[in-house]
Amino acid sequence: MATIARAFAAVDLDVSVYGGATRDQQLTNAATCFAALRTRLLTAVTAPNAGNVLRLAFHDCGTYDINNPAAGGGCRGAIRLALGPEDAGLDLSRNLLTGPTGTAGVCGAAKATIPACANMPFADCISFAGLIAVAVTRGTTAAGCPWVPGRVDSAGPRNTALLPPKEATAAQSLAIFGRYGMPVGAVGLTLDRAVTLLLGAHSIGRSRTTRPDRCSKGISSLTSTPNTFENSYYSGLINNIGRVNVPNGGWFCSDMHLVCNAITYPTPRPGAAVTLRQGFCPTSDSPLAPIARELAANNAAFLSGFCSAYQAMSLIGYNVPPSYVADAARFATLLAPAPARGL
């Protein structure tokens, strides 16, 4: 894995905030911080909130546009200070991790009481917690998942309009995630594969606020196993082909579009609403369907691939340092699967 030259200006990661005279000492101090933080997060991240914590990490990062880097955004911790309309339901994990003021919660308490975490950016805490949510739902591999600290907090601006809508087709999802400028090549992925893997996050968690309509099955668990991070998300999508009224396997249009380009609906009675439950996915003709089929057949490929895709997502808005691979390996085992309360 080589240094990745980014075409657009992004921010450099900064580990000096963890203290230490040399970069090696700074990374060692950071590892001390995250080992202690991990213990606290394993108590705080439970069945009812793991999905929400993972979604919070995505919504902090998915706010950057490589064509307009001066506008800010990316994994900068700004979600702690203000939630936009696209963040509905995320007050649960925002309050858990940073408190309603954006200065408290598990992250704020860690900064106040774990000396090695005194200057930890909230952005690092949120990003790390997202992978802990995957680890406690058994979604990381036995070796864990590489990850680096060094994000830089900002108070905004954070453009939540850059987050994907549930109506997104495969082409639209590719365009939206492409605009984030994720360093997919640095983690051995293509954009197509990274997007297909990242949408697999809907393997866990719930739709808490999104009501049933043409692109949503409503308020419920996103799969039949919402506490287990696994590839049944993709097999559910594949099983939906040619069937109607299937309870799981593609909660939103954006999920179903991983296998079908067009969803067809019955003609509604005048005044009646049509829901996704009545939607029909006739063919497996999405450009991303071959990847979804492969992941449906191979859970190990999903878990290791998601670890890579999350790394790319966690670097939105940042330059990839030349030492990325060695640095990230130092944190991997902290993110090995671990049981959490209530799971």
Residues that bind ligand HEM (CB under 6 A): 51-52, 54-55, 58, 88-89, 164-166, 168, 173, 198-199, 201-202, 204-210, 222, 252, 254
Quote the least distance from Cβ 100 to ligand HEM, whole Å: 17
Quote the least distance from Cβ 340 to ligand HEM, whole Å: 14
Quote the least distance from Cβ 32 to ligand HEM, whole Å: 27
Rounded CA-CA distance 139/133 in Å is 8
Closest CA to 316 of 167, 191, 196, 204: 191
Task: Pick the closer one to ligand HEM by CB: 154 or 207.
Answer: 207
Could you give phi then psi for residue 280, rounded to 5 degrees? -130, 125
Calculate helix-pair angle for 105-113, 23-44, nearest 10 degrees.
130
Angle in degrees, CA 129, 130, 135, rounded to 5: 90
Task: Pick the closer one to ligand HEM by CB: 116 or 132.
Answer: 132
Task: Pick the closer one to ligand HEM by CB: 17 or 222.
Answer: 222
Quote the least distance from Cβ 320 to ligand HEM, whole Å: 19
Task: Pick the closer one to ligand HEM by CB: 248 or 254.
Answer: 254
3-state SS class at 144: strand
Q: How many CB atoms lie within 10 A of CB 2?
A: 10
The DSSP annotation for 196-224 comes to: HHHHGGGGS-EESS---BTTB--SEESSS
Task: Pick the closer one to ligand HEM by CB: 210 or 235.
Answer: 210
Task: Pick the closer one to ligand HEM by CB: 149 or 164.
Answer: 164
Quote the least distance from Cβ 205 to ligand HEM, whole Å: 3
Distances (CA, A) of 323 to 61, 148, 225, 233: 22, 10, 38, 34
Quote the least distance from Cβ 140 to ligand HEM, whole Å: 13
